[in-house]
Amino acid sequence: MCGMSETPPESSANPDFDAMTRDIAEVPAVEVIVTVAVNLMSAAAVKLGLTEEGEDHKDLDEARKLVHALAGLLDATATEISSFHAAPLRDGLKSLQLAFREASLVPDEPGQGPGEKYTGAVYG
* pLDDT computed for residue 8 by the predictor: 53
Give the pLDDT of the chain (124 residues) as one tens digit per residue.
Answer: 455 445 555 555 777 878 777 788 899 999 999 999 999 999 999 999 999 988 899 999 999 999 999 999 999 999 999 999 999 999 999 999 999 999 999 989 999 999 999 999 998 7
Question: Which ranges of 48-113 would DSSP assign to H, the alpha helix?
Answer: 60-76, 83-103
Number of neighbours of residue 113 by Cβ within 10 angstroms? 22
Q: How large is the angle between the packed helices 60-76 and 83-103, nearest 10 degrees?
A: 160
Tell me the C-alpha distance between 99 and 50, whole Å: 9
Tell me the C-alpha distance between 76 and 35, whole Å: 15
- State the pTM of this model: 0.81
CB 43 within 8 A of CB 58: no
